[in-house]
Amino acid sequence: MKRTKYPIHPDFKKWEHVNPPLNRAFLPVMQKLMGTLFVKEKSSDIINVSRFKIDTSDGSRIRALLFTPAKITTPAPCLIYYHGGGFVLPAAPHHFSLAREYALKALCMVLFVDYRLAPKFAFPIAPEDCFDAYQWVLNQAEELEIDPSLVAVGGDSAGGELATVVCLMARNRGVRIPCAQMLIYPVTTRGLETESMKKYIDTPMCNNKDMKKYARFYIQDENAGKREYMFPMEAVSLDDLPPAYIETAEFDCLRDGGIQYAERLKQFNVSVELHNTVGTIHGFDIERSSSIVRECVERRVAFLRKAFRQTEF
């Protein structure tokens, strides 16, 4: 495929011809292979890794990892993290590495949720799994030594959408709302009418064509659940949602959707910290040594520490 030459920052050039293989027949193989990464996460001298099985509302069970820094004061704050992957791909190695970094630098626990994936488990399974994991943390807070008033949600791409949808579900269902939401290049709308969605049909990592495939895998029944749990931009109200950190990538079809969601949150008096990164592509924090990624991670950590009411760095 002939691609448009975008002025991508040199740090991310090696990814400029990469897009996930989104073949329905091959996806189960990808899911099985990548799913093994979950069991390879081990404890170290500086961080403990605990494994849990969480009961879901439909009678199933999902896996979760809890990253706990060795030097942490309890009851501790907690970030519940939902990884990206278009609702069809398991977590990649950089997701686990970032979870560890958030735990160590934000001095919090991080619950890493292995929600079920499409196309076998289509909408609304993923958001319900993610909400069940959130409720599990609240219900087990005392046993886990977590402060239930300091539980934030976060995620990248599809996981960013799931994080803000959990906030909507909590509000709508009368459950304690997360103290913050951290959304990294999130999916917010199905709409193909934004400038970035129209323009970026051949960008690396994710583009308009990829999004159409993800949507076909994920949304198999338009009436299976609330529209706002599919795409949060479609919520009638964003009242009472927690403070948000939103980060977008320049050469990403999801860019304008993230910006529009930030503006809509502001219309409902939700505090929003928006960062539009330059020279970046979707999933750019896979390149963890990049100075751009380092700067972004430090901003994310600062946001979390503020949400967790931590004043000493």
Pairing verdict, β 244-248 and 61-69: unpaired
Longest dimension (CA), the chain: 55
Q: Identify the CA nearest to 86 among candidates 253, 299, 288, 222.
A: 253
Q: Which two tokens stand for residue 39?
A: 């069991």
Q: CB-based contacts of 86: which residues, under 8 Å, 6+ apart?
A: 20, 22, 157, 158, 206, 210, 211, 213, 214, 217, 218
Q: Is 210 a catalytic residue?
A: no
d(CA 160, CA 158): 5
DSSP string, 246-311: EEE-TB-TTHHHHHHHHHHHHHTT--EEEEE-SS-BTTGGGSTTSHHHHHHHHHHHHHHHHHTT--
Question: Which helix (H) or strand (E) covers residue 129, if one does?
Answer: helix 125-139
User: Could you say which of 196, 282, 285, 290 is catalytic?
Assistant: 282
206 contact partners, CB below 8 Å, separation of at least 6: 19, 86, 157, 252, 253, 254, 282, 283
Phi–psi pair at 46, nearest 5 degrees: -105, -15
Active site (annotated) includes residue 252: yes
Inter-residue contact 111 to 61 (CB < 8 Å) = no
DSSP strands (E only) in 142-288:
146-156, 181-184, 244-248, 272-276
Question: Among 156, 157, 285, 290, which one carries the catalytic annotation?
Answer: 157
- Does residue 8 contact residue 251 with C-beta atoms inside 8 Å? yes
From 156, 210, 252, 285, the catalytic residue: 252
Give Cα 202 distance to the centre of its chain.
Answer: 23
- In the three-class reduction of DSSP (H, G, I as helix; E, B as strand; rest coil), residue 229 is classed as helix
Q: Which residues are catalytic?
A: 157, 252, 282
